[in-house]
Structure formats: C-alpha cells, structure tokens
Structure 1
Amino acid sequence: MFSALRKSLASRATFSDIQANILAGLTVGVIALPLSMALAIASGVPPQHGLYTAIVAGIVIAISGGSKVNISGPTAAFVVVLLPIVQQFGIGGLLVSGLMAGIVLIMMGVGKLGKLIEIVPYPVIIGFTAGIGVVIGTFQIKDFLGLDIQTQNGDYLDKLILIVNSLPTINWQESLIGGLTISILLLWPRVRSKIPGHLVALFLGSMIAWLLSQFSQDFSVATIGSRFHYEINGITGNGIPAILPAFEWPWNLSGANGKPIGLSFELIKLLLPSAITIAILGSLESLLCSVVADGMTGKKHNSNDELIGQGIGNIIAPLFGGIPATAAIARTAANIKAGGSTPLASVVHGLFVLGAILALTPLLAYIPMASMAALLIVVAWNMSEAKQFIRTIKIAPRDDVIVLILCFSLTVLFDMTIAVAVGMGLAAMLFIRRSIKVTNTTRIEKNHGVHGDLPNSIAIYDINGSLFFGSAQKALEAISRVTPDLRVVILDMTEVNMLDMSAIVAMESIADTLEKQQVFLIISNLQERMALKLHRVGITDKPAEIHFSRTLADAIAVANKIL
C-alpha cells in the first residue's frame, strides 16, 4: 500500500522534477476538466459529480496506489455500466454501488489478484471496449443533433429505434454547433499544438453558440446551464454549483423516485452485481493503464497496491459525491508526455479541477450540450479501437474472432456484465479445448531407437502435456486397451507438467483395470510433487502391481526383470 508515494519520496526529487510534475498536473487538469463533466453527463448524473470524482479519487488514488504516473477519474468505459444503475437506483444507488466496488477492489488487492489483466484474453478486452464505444457514441446522437427525445429507456435496440424514429426532429442549431465542435476535434491534431484539442473545440463551440445567440434571438441551444439545476440550502441555481465537494453519506442521496435511497441489506443485494462489475472493469482499466504507463516510462508499477489504491479512492470518492473512478489511459499518457513522474502530478491535476469549480463555474454553464456530445463521440471512437478490432478479425484464429464478436455483440445488445462473463467463459472453454488437443498419448513403436527392440509384452506410452479434467480421459483412454500378450505397461510421464483430481481418478481407474488383467504398471519420471499426489490416493509402489522409476531406461530394466 502507498508504494508509489513511498518510492517517489525515497527518490528525493529535485526542484526541476517538482516543477515538471506541477506543469504536467496543470496540463492534465485542463484535459480532465471538460472530460469529467462530459462523462458524468453520459453516466446520467449532473456534471459536478464528474468533477468531484477527478478531485477526490484523482488525489486519493495517486497517494495510495501502486503507480506513480496514473491519472484516475471518471472514464468512458464506466458509462454503459453506470447509466443503467442511475436509471434504476438514482444517484444515491450509484454512489453506494461505487463504495461497494471500492471494498471489492481492496479485497482483490489484498488477495494478490493484481495479475488479473494477464488472464483476460485480448479478444475479450477489445470486444467489450469496442462495444462500449458504440453504445456511448449512439447515445450522444440525441444531444448532437438536438433530437426531440424526452426519455431514453429500454435496451440498446429500443433506444436505437427511438433515435432513428426521431431523426425528423433534428434541430439545425444544435447540429451546427455539434458539427463545428467535432470538426475542430478532428482537425486540431494537424495543427500540432500543445493546447488540448478538446479544450479548443469546447471553447470555440461555446463562443460561437453564444455569439450566434447574441445576433439572433431565434438561435438557442441547450447548455450545461440550461440543462442542469441544483438546490443547496434552499438556494437554487443553474449549471454547476461553485462549492467544494462536501461530505454526505451516499445512502442519504436520492434514488430513482427522488427520495433518499436509504441503506438496507436488500439494497446491498440488488447493487452487489453492479458493484462487482464496476470493480472488475475498474481493475482491468487501471492495470491495463499501468502496463501502458510502464511501457512509456520504463518503470514498474505494483499491481496489487494499485488495486488497493483504486479501492480506497472508490470508497472515499462517493462520500464526497464522486462517481466510480479508475485510471484513465489517455490522461495518464498525457501526464507522462508532459513530464509527470510522481503522484504529485495527479494531486495538482485534482487541485486544478477544484480551483476551476470555484472560479470557472459561471463560464462552464455556457458549454453547449451538442459540444459535449461531440466530445463524447470522439472519445467513444478512440476507445472503440476500430483498427485493432478489424485487424483482429482479419488475422486472429477463428476461435478468437468468435470471442471478439460475441463480447462486442453482448456489450452492445445487453450489457458489459454479461459480455465479460460469457466472453471469459467461452475463452476458458476454448483454451481447454486447445489444451486437450496438445495433450496426447503416443505408444512408442516396438523398434525403440534408444533402448533397442521391445517385446510385444511391453508397451511404452509417452504422455505429453497437462493432465486435467478436460484432457485426462482423452490422453489415458488408449492405455486401457490391453492386448492378450501384454504383460507390462510403462507410462513415460517426463513431459507431464500438471495432474489434477480428475487425472488422478483416471490414473487410479487405469491402475485397477491393469491389475485385474494381471498387467504390471510402471510410472516413469513423474515429478515428485505429482508422485506425492498419487501416493496420497493409494497409488503406491507395490512390487506386485505398480512400480515407479526415475528414468525410462530404469523402467525398461524393471519390465524385463518382471518378464
């Protein structure tokens, strides 16, 4: 725990290092400010909750985590998970599930599950991230085109049909601002400026919308100020309240019915699947971000500490209005490129967002919703990894392509929980099938090149690979077929690297079958740890039935002696 902070303090940073991290933090803060608002809006909550997440989670995770350069906050990957929670349980249910996810993340870190990212197949990751990108992009069409849609309920296909049926209600004013914003977002990288493109796009989109509204009273677009309202201590306002994140128990906030959601065992049961999903997605996103950061910096993160840090951040953030957070790859990469090398950069990034809440909220209220939608469409496109998706379909084995398309389809049509669960299950089954194929048993020919001719009464079987529940029966079934003149069976297990209970039972069955047919069994060169397993179940060295030998040559010598 706190390994990144401890390493940074032990390195004795110079003044120039501190200066570089402060500048990097300010750079990332500029990037995180509009993104945090946009992602909160996409998740179904007011924009200030995204800002609170960047402040609290960004600072806490940086201090307590295992990566010195990760920047944490709200991310696009969470949107498809959080939106249904908000629709069903309200903001209170979302924050309670985020707190529960933090507890799960700490348990994962304490349980040393930091290598989780290594067991998730690449097609599963690309499948669900591409699916998330499609869902996020689709849901932004409403604000991007200014469609007359009051509510978007139901599953993805219902929402897509509603959007298509509402296309005749396109608002040209919203579409104009959305189109201008997305054009700037796409063209700005060609300028090769250090100023973040989305900051320029949102500024120009807001400025153009405001100027057009000044020249024409008929020109009007929805903005953060007109869309969101707040009430604090009897005082109402539009846009984002210019106040610091305040402590509040999440269960005191409103549920879907507008009343405090409360805290009960029944609520915990209902939210537990969502909390586990948030924890799993958060761990994958954070650890994947850490791996990318390691490649850029040449340093090594502590994966278990990173999970614990993410857990601590996700427990504390909901207490101050923050939604679930995880490490963000794009913001982390920007941090590294700007010179960030210690948690100080992330702390400064959080403080910058905090300062922006106090100083810039009147200006943030002018940002058009169409511009925010344009920003999210670009974010969705970038996270969809379209090039990698197509490349995987072209070059990957058929099994991996099936997993990819299935994860993608389930993410879009149902939800990410089902997609990851089914994708992992299918990937595991395909892995087992491949393992079964590479595990085999070969009978060595009578004319044995090394040990000379073997009599018909001796059969040597060379077993290769792992003997587990999927492969044991296939690999060992040939041994049970005994010819009348067979007296000794030798199992060469030099290349057997695993033996599970299913394989042990199969071995026990073979030993009993051979014993009944008065055929001696010799097990050769089995690793000591696996031989102990056989001894525990009663398959021991019995001169009248079973022998163990260290080498194949010894086994053949014992077989000749028996004959």
Structure 2
Amino acid sequence: MSDLMAGIIVGIVALPLAIAFGIASGVAPEKGIITAIIAGFIISLMGGSKVQIGGPTGAFIVIIYGIVQQYGEAGLIVATLIAGVLLVLLGVFKLGAVIKFIPYPIIVGFTSGIAVTIFTTQIADIFGLTFGGAKLPGDFIGKWLMYFEHFGTINWWNTAVSIVSVFIIVITPKFSKKIPGSLIAIVLVTVIVYFMKLYGGIDCIPTIGDRFTINAELPEAVVPPLNWAAINDLFPVAITIAVLGAIESLLSATVADGVIGDRHDSNTELIAQGAANIITPLFGGIPATGAIARTMTNINNGGKTPVAGIIHAVVLLLILLFLMPLAQYIPMACLAGVLVIVSYNMSGWRVFKALLKNPRADVTVLLITFILTVIFDLTVAIEIGLVIACILFMKRVMETTKISVITDEINLHEEQDSSLPEENLVIPKDVEVYEISGPYFFGVATKFEETMAQLGDYPKVRIIRMRRVPFIDSTGIHNLTSLCEMSHKDKITVILSGVNPQVNEALEKSGFYELIGKENICPNINVALERAKEIVE
C-alpha cells in the first residue's frame, strides 16, 4: 500500500516537471511525459536501486536543446540511442565505480553552469519578450544581447504570472509536504489565467496550446535511419549524455542509499539507464536518468520497492491518455516559473561558494568548468575540466614523489627495511644510494633523470631504493631501462632494493631483470650494500 501511494504522488510530482523539461528542451510537451513513462518504467523494473525514479531531468535541457537546434529531433534520437549503448557497455564491463572518480569540483561546476543556462533560456517567457520573427541565438552571450535589445517588448502580465508561480512554489512546503508546489502553481495559475482570458478579455498571456499541438497518445516505435556520418557527428555529444546520465543516476542512487540504509548495484543501474535510453527515443522520447528530487519524494512518501516507480509510470500514462488535452491551457510563463525554481535548486550556490575556499587547483577546475558550461557547452566543459583535473592531479602526485641521494650514512632509526636496527649503515666508497618515495610514473620519470644529471659523477655502483614506490608504469620502466643501459656503458652497476611485489611483477614481465640480473635485485638495503661491496672490491 505504501508503494502504491508513493507511486501516485511521485507521478503527480513528475507531471509538471516532465512537461516543463520537454518544452525547455525544444521538443513537444508530451515527449517529456513519454520519457517519464517509458524510461521511468524501465529504470524501476531493471535498475540496481530499489527506490530510484527515472525520467527527464534539468541537467539534459541544455544538451538536448543544442542537438535539436543543430541536428533536429532525428539527430536527438540517434545521440540518445548511442548514449544508451554506451551506458549498457559501462555496466556490462563493471565500470560503474569509475564514474565516481570524476572530481567533485567538475560535477559542481557543470551542474551550476547548467542551472545558469536553464535560467537564461526562460527569460523570454518570464518577461514575455518578442523578437519580431528573429530566431533566438543558441549561445549564452547571444541570448542576453537579444534580451537587452528587445527588452522594450516586455509583457508585464507574463512577468506577473511568473512571479505568482514562483511565490506559490516557494510557500507551498510551509503548508503541504505531500503535494508539490509546482503542481499547485500550475493548477491555480492556469485556472486564473483561463478565467482572465474568458471574462477579463486579457488575451496576451501565451499558453502551451498557442505554441504546440498536443498528442494525447503513445506513438508507435520508429527506428531512425542510421548512417556512419550521423553517428560520427553525434558521438561526442552522445558521450556527454552518457557520462552525465551515469553521474546523475549514480549520485541519486547513492543519496537514496544513505536515506534508506541500502546499497545499490551501480553496474546494474547503468545497464537499466542504458536500456531506458535505447528504448525511449524509439517512441520519440528524450534522454533520461535517475532524478534526485523525484527519488527523494518517493522515499519520503513510503516507497520501498521498484513497484512505486512502476506505478508512477502508470499514473503518468493515464494522465497522458485522459488529461493531457488540458495541458494546452497552462501558461508558458508559469512553466518558466517552475524552471526558475528548478535552476535555483540545481545551482547549489552554497556548495559552489564553499568550494571557492578550497585549494587553488580545485577552485581553478570549478571555475573553468562552470564558465565553459555557461559560455560554450557541456561537452567542452566536461572534456576540458577532466583534462585540467588530471593534469593538476598528476602535478600533485609529482610534488609528493621525492627523490633523494645518500652518499655517506643511512640512519637506521628512520628505516623499516633494515635488519640491523641499532647501528647506522655506512655507504662504501664509489657507491651512491638513490631513494624514490612515491609513484614512479611518466610524470616523475624525467625528474629522476634530472636528479642524476645534476650530480654528474660516475660511481661504480648505484643502489636505487624502491621500498616506498607503490606502483610503476611503462614510462617508469622505460626510464629505468635507459638508466641501466647508460650505466652499463659507463661500467656502473645498478642494484634495486626493497622492490614491492606489485612493482616487482611489472619489472619481471617487462624483461627488465634480464638486463640488470636477478642477483642485483635485493630485498632490503643491508643485502644491497653487501652486494655493492662485493662489486666494488
């Protein structure tokens, strides 16, 4: 019974959001509901979370709008299908955990950027601006320039409708926890505007019916024509849809886990998200993912199993079939007010402000991702944000990896791999000891070469202590190989000391030990120094 009630309430909550997201994305309003029905059903039926509610979300508005403007709805279908396949592959190959490694500043940066962009797209409907037949530009700066240029066409009735809608949504939680403010605002404002038109002669407030013809039925499945050129053009955008969908769905499932004390299966969830994004576009739907707000509404109203999500989809289907014609009376300014609240909640400005106090590298990633999302697009923002985050991460790792040179004594009070704890180890003449502390990867390899080049001397033995090297990559192995080959030319023997099992396995597989000789691989510094004495003498 609790799942039944939760499903009904979530279906009602999802209705105005699905309509608003569909229109804001540049498609017909019923396509938002179709997405919520089909994707919501599949995600609840197949997903790895018991309480996840899937459907269209605000995060996709900017991407979908851009695709529709450039490639049309046929291009959107192809991009969504590709994204669905990518999500399924992520789940099949157990890569659900990898998505969680995307840095938090990137997630906050593009989420806040999307919120600003959504707000920007609603300015025309909030103020009722008209552009004299001119097409509104797709870019952020172009939009604002046109808004300022045509601000003299403001329709104050539209503005009043938007303000009233926002006010109703804001105050609703103070007297109603069950019924969403967006639904109350849409019902009340639609009724008021309807009677104003009917009896007041006020006919200057555009509604959904003025711009769209609503089809109150589920369309037949249509497989779009696929060709390599379209796939090639849309593949980068599809990657963005897949990554964003994976992030949002797993983030939503994780938040739900914390509330209900459960643990979702991230890979199963990704497969379900992929299946939803493969099937939904065949019926004209748009990209879908897990929705945090609707998932929390489900939990707060007693949802405990996937049955609640399935019922939510059935409720939306009934609304589409029997009540959808009434949606034509909803004012566009009212939907704009709903999306203003969505963008405000999505902005996470408190988190954004808090992150500005973090280390400079994190702030750099946050601001660059935010600015690129707003000024350019989400695809560019995620790509460049990830590259910058990786570079800064490698820089931090390089800074933590230290290379030191010891030529006289080793203090055993600071050692862990020595078997003689009460005396210092004296380094014999013509022997140098190099210690590497930290990962030995491509960012550090040249650092070791530079350290040796600065010394410029030629001992008989070089001992490289690797007890504090957790891993080594192919560049590190190549660097060591080059060092040994150069040392052999200069008649210098290289000895490795304290190599851990993981690094030892990597070196052995690469054939490095055939070059250096297994007798020069020592378990600790004591054995390494004894071996060095033998060579020197």
TM range (shorter): over 0.9
Question: In the superposition, relative to structure 1, how do residues 367 and 357 fare at CA in structure 2: closer, same or farther (>3 Å)?
Answer: same
Q: CA RMSD in A?
A: 1.9
Look up the match of 2:6.
24
Match 1:99 to one of 81, 86, 91: 81
Residue 54 of structure 2 is matched in structure 1 by: 72
Amino acid at match of 1:170: I
Q: What is the CA–CA distance in structure 1 between the aligned matches of 2:238 and 2:507, rounded to whole Å?
A: 42
Q: Indicate which of 31, 35, 43 corresponds to 2:17.
A: 35
Match of 1:88 among 57, 70, 95: 70
Aligned position for 1:249: 222
Specify the alignment match of 2:90 in structure 1: 108
Conserved in 2, the CA contact under 8 Å of 1:520 and 1:545?
no
State how far apart, in whole Å, the 1-side matches of 2:404 and 2:330 are: 71
Instruction: Report deviation, 1:363.
Output: 2.6
Q: How far apart, CA to CA, are the structure 2 residues paired with 1:358 and 1:192?
A: 28
Is the CA contact 2:471–2:502 (under 8 Å) kept in the aligned structure 1?
no
Aligned to 2:381: 419
Structure 1 residue 223 corresponds to structure 2 residue 207: yes
TM alignment of 1:392-407, pairs within 5 A:
392-393=355-356, 395-407=357-369
Query: Partner of 2:148 in structure 1?
Result: 164
Q: Structure 1 58/456 Cα, relative in aligned 2: closer, same or farther at 3 Å? A: same
Are residue 387 (structure 1) and residue 350 (structure 2) matched?
yes
Equivalent AA in structure 2 for residue 44 of structure 1: G
- Tell me the CA shift for residue 484 of structure 1: 5.4
Hey, what's the Cα distance between the residues in 1 that align with 2:169 and 2:20? Answer: 15
Residues 488-540 of structure 1: per-residue CA shift (max 9 Å, x gap): 22111011111111111111121122223332221011123423433444432
Instruction: Report the AA paired with residue 266 of structure 1.
Output: A
Partner in structure 2 of residue 213 of structure 1: 197
Change (3 A) 1:543 1:441: closer
> Structure 1 residues 545, 509: closer, same or farther in 2, change over 3 A?
farther
Residue 468 (str. 1) matches residue 441 (str. 2): yes
Maintained 8 Å contact 1:248/1:320: yes
- Cα distance change on mapping 1:95 and 1:336 into 2, 3 Å: same
The range that moved more, 471-480 or 316-325, is 471-480
2:420 corresponds to: none
CA distance in 2, matches of 1:480, 1:439: 18
Calculate the TM-score normalised by the size of structure 1: 0.89
SS in 1 for 2:161: helix
Q: d(CA) in 1 for partners of 2:64 and 2:75?
A: 10
Shift of residue 92, structure 1, vs aligned partner: 2.4
Aligned-partner Cα distance in 2 for 1:347–1:492: 60
CA distance in 2, matches of 1:202, 1:24: 21
- 1:145-184 equivalence runs, <5 A: 145-149=127-131, 150=133, 151-184=135-168
Q: Is the Cα–Cα contact under 8 Å of residues 25 and 62 in structure 2 kept in the other structure?
A: yes
Aligned residue type for 2:294: R
Aligned match of 2:504:
531
- Code of the residue aligned with 2:361 in structure 1: it is D
- Whether the aligned pair in 2 keeps the contact of 1:441 and 1:476 (CA below 8 Å) is no
AA in 1 matched with 2:394: I
Cα distance in 2 for residues equivalent to 1:321 and 1:379: 24
Alignment partners' CA distance in 1, 2:465 and 2:70: 60
Deviation of the 1:90 alpha carbon: 2.1
Q: Distance in 2 between matches of 1:138 and 1:307?
A: 31
Specify every segment of 5 or more residues in structure 1 that has no aligned partner in the other structure, as ranges.
1-18, 230-239, 252-261
Shift of 1:400: 1.0
Q: Identify the match of residue 183 of structure 2 among 182, 185, 199.
A: 199
What is the aligned partner in structure 1 of residue 117 from structure 2?
Answer: 135
Give how far 1:542 is off: 7.3
**How far is 1:242 from its partner?**
2.5
Question: Residue 286 of structure 2 aligns with which residue?
Answer: 323
> How far 1:314 sits from its partner (Å)?
0.9
In the TM superposition, 1:354-393 aligns within 5 A as 354-393=317-356
Aligned partner of residue 455 in structure 1, secondary structure? coil
Answer whether contact 2:431 2:463 (CA < 8 A) is retained.
Answer: yes
Q: 1:544 to 1:32 in 2, by over 3 A?
A: closer
In 2, Cα distance between equivalents of 1:479 and 1:536: 26
- The one-letter code sitting in structure 2 at the alignment partner of 1:549 is C
Q: For residue 280 of structure 1, what is the aligned residue in structure 2?
A: 243
Aligned to 1:11: none
Letter of the 2:441 counterpart: F
Counterpart-to-counterpart distance in 2, 1:184 and 1:361: 23
**Distance in 2 (alpha carbons) for counterparts of 1:356 and 1:529:** 59
> Are residues 175 and 485 of structure 1, via their aligned partners in 2, closer, same or farther at CA, if it must alter by over 3 Å?
closer
Deviates most, 404-413 or 469-478: 469-478
Question: Which residue of structure 1 lines up, in the alignment, with residue 100 of structure 2?
Answer: 118
Q: Which is worse superposed, 65-74 or 272-281?
A: 272-281
How far the C-alpha of 1:219 sits from its partner, in A, is 4.2
* Match among 264, 270, 295 for residue 233 of structure 2: 270
Q: Is 1:441 the counterpart of 2:406 in the alignment?
A: no
State the one-letter code of the partner of 2:127.
Answer: L
1:80: Cα distance to partner? 0.6
Amino acid at match of 1:124: I
Q: Deviations over 1:37-93 (max 9, x none)?
A: 000000000100000001111001211121111111000000110001111222222
SS of residue in 1 equivalent to 2:520: strand
Contact kept in structure 1, 2:66 and 2:138, CA below 8 Å: no
State the Cα distance separating 1:97 from its structure 2 match.
1.9
Change (3 A) 1:193 1:532: closer
Q: CA deviation at 1:383?
A: 0.7
Give the letter aligned to residue 126 of structure 1: V
Bigger drift between 384-393 and 186-195 goes to 186-195
> Structure 2 stretches of 5 or more lacking a match?
413-423
Structure 2 counterpart of 1:558: 531
Q: Are residue 457 (structure 1) and residue 419 (structure 2) matched?
A: no
Counterpart residue type for residue 427 of structure 1: A
Quote how far apart the aligned CAs of 1:477 are. 3.2
Give the counterpart letter for 1:202 in structure 2: I
Say whether the 8 Å CA contact 2:400–2:438 is kept in structure 1. Answer: yes
Question: Partners in 2 of 1:306 and 1:219 — Cα distance?
Answer: 47
Preserved contact between residue 480 and residue 513 of structure 1 (Cα < 8 Å): no
**What's the CA shift for 1:137?**
0.3
* Counterpart in the other structure of 2:309: 346
Structure 2 SS opposite 1:467? coil
- Equivalent pair of 2:9/2:178 in contact (CA under 8 Å): no
The one-letter amino acid paired with 1:166 is H
**Aligned counterparts of 2:515 and 2:204: Cα–Cα separation in 1:** 91
